[in-house]
A and B are shown apart, each in its own frame.
Chain A
């Protein structure tokens, strides 16, 4: 619960830095918190960092696409701040630490983990936005007929 609140703050405040509209701030924060919760529960379940991040990215982008539909705003507004908590900051930092300590094997391991997480986030977003784009074009087509 404490982490939920922290993750909420961790998406709410970057949203202020990105200057999004006041009424959308709270939804961006909520989106980020739910994404973090998804990441934590998947991680506790499978012990896999990358898989947790992947599922979290899917949850976040699906949520923000839905919010974008409801509030009639671009979905960017929601998912840029809410992806913040699951960015692999720690593993990137550890990579640098290991490089400084000349532990190249560990650095390579951590570096690969970082790359893997980043790729997982990317693929998660890609998957969901492809699906939503398909739904959108279907809607437009059926309206046109």
Chain B
């Protein structure tokens, strides 16, 4: 197979991995593995916002092909990471022709999510569980579930409309804070603190932080820094949104 085609497969797998929230070393590893499965030497350099690969055939080292792929949007989809992992390991055992591989990759790319209602109710149950876990009552939990389903709905809509994730997080935690404080004002016996903490639990950037650490561990200092900074900005935007809501209510009351 031609070098160009192999690199196409490799870079598409890398792109899917990176946009699904994979660690850097896994992306580089996968690219290397796919290239070596087709007997091609390659060097790859991956950052959270782009993939750089150049490869050359073992019998013709004078002719190398390079690709750069810019990655713009990143979501979390651990299922895709798993599927690409199996795909690349299968390639190592038995290579397949270009068209077939591309077809598989494209089907992975559009692989079904859990349905929207399922994810919405999952968000609700998450917040319910955390509110009760953090010393809220059953009723607090129900309210937090309602709030988090509402902000999850807004967050998904804003993601589709291509707002920046920092602004989305800011607005969502602001709304959560507003609703919780207002509910606490009108219904006397709620514990506002548990409700707010529970309902913004679904916004916490857990993946960015842990990936930042894993990247640092594997020596990808550049990506580790950018991920940790990303997480810090998200945390700050959540905090500011919540703080603003609380402050407004304090002034208003």
On A, residues with C-beta under 8 Å from B are 3, 6-7, 9-10, 13-14, 16-21, 36, 73-74, 76-77, 79-80, 83-85, 87, 89-90, 92-93, 95-97, 99-100, 118, 121-122, 125-126, 129-130, 133
B79 & A19 in contact (Cβ 8 Å cutoff): yes
Complex Cα distance, B201 from A9, in Å, reads 13
**Residue B119 at the A interface, CB < 8 A?**
yes
Cβ–Cβ contact A77 & B206, under 8 A: no
- Interface status of B91 (Cβ within 8 A of chain A): no
Task: State whether the Cβ of B196 lies closer than 8 Å to any Cβ in chain A.
Answer: yes
Name the B residues within 8 Å of A99 (CB-CB). Answer: 243
Q: A16-B114, A16-B118 are in contact. Are A77 and B201 (CB under 8 A)?
A: no
A14, A36, A77, A121: the one within 8 Å of B81 (CB): A77
From DSSP, what is the main secondary structure of chain A's interface residues? helix
Instruction: Name the segment of B35-43, B66-74, B99-107, B122-130 touching the other chain.
Output: B122-130
Given A19-B78, A20-B82, residue A100 in contact with residue B247 (CB < 8 A): yes
A-B contact pairs, 26 of them (CB 8 A): A6-B129, A9-B129, A10-B126, A10-B130, A14-B126, A16-B119, A18-B76, A19-B80, A19-B113, A76-B23, A79-B210, A80-B207, A84-B201, A84-B204, A85-B133, A87-B201, A87-B204, A89-B130, A89-B197, A89-B201, A93-B193, A96-B243, A100-B243, A126-B216, A129-B214, A129-B217
Which residues on the A side are within 8 Å of B246 (C-beta)?
96-97, 100
Query: Of A6, A76, A84, A92, which contacts B22 at CB under 8 A?
Result: A76
CB nearest to A84 among chain B residues: B206
B200 contacts across to A, CB distance below 8 A: 89
Q: Which residues of A contact B114 (CB under 8 A)?
A: 16, 19
Say whether A19 contacts B129, CB under 8 Å.
no
| A21 and B112 alpha carbons, distance in the complex (Å) | 11
CA distance in complex: A10, B26 (Å): 27
CA distance A144 to B128 in the complex (A): 50
Contact B202 A125 (CB under 8 A): no
* Complex CA–CA separation, A68 to B23 (angstroms): 15
Q: Which residues of B contact A (CB under 8 A)?
A: 22-23, 26, 76-82, 85, 113-114, 118-119, 122-123, 125-126, 128-130, 132-134, 193, 196-197, 200-202, 204, 206-207, 209-210, 213-214, 216-217, 235, 239, 242-243, 246-247, 250
A17 touches B122 (CB 8 A): yes
Instruction: Say how far B103's CB is from chain A's closest CB, in angstroms.
Output: 21
Nearest chain B CB to A115 CB, angstrom units: 11
Instruction: Determine if A13 and B78 form an interchain contact, defined as CB atoms under 8 angstroms apart.
Output: no
Instruction: Known contacts A92-B235, A122-B213; decide if A74 and B82 are in contact (CB<8 Å).
Output: yes
What are the 10 tightest A-B residue pairs by CB atom distance, in nearest-first order?
A: A16-B122, A9-B129, A13-B126, A10-B129, A13-B122, A20-B78, A6-B133, A6-B129, A13-B125, A96-B243
A13, A73, A121: the one contacting B123 at CB < 8 Å is: A13
Q: Per a CB cutoff under 8 Å, which of A19, A92, A133 touches B77?
A: A19
Closest to B81 in A: A74
Q: Which residue of chain B has its CB nearest to the CB of A127?
A: B217
The residue of chain B having its C-beta at the shortest distance from the C-beta of A61 within the complex is B210
Closest Cβ of chain A to B196, distance in Å, is 6
Measured between alpha carbons, how far is A99 from B244 in the docked complex, in Å?
Answer: 11
B78 adjacent to A9 (CB under 8 Å): no
In the complex with contacts A19-B77, A122-B209, A93-B85 CB distance below 8 A:
no
Q: A10-B129, A84-B206 are in contact. Are A18 and B78 (CB under 8 A)?
A: yes
Closest residue of chain A to B25 (Cβ to Cβ) is A133
In the assembled complex, the CB of A40 is this many whole angstroms from the nearest CB of chain B, namely 10
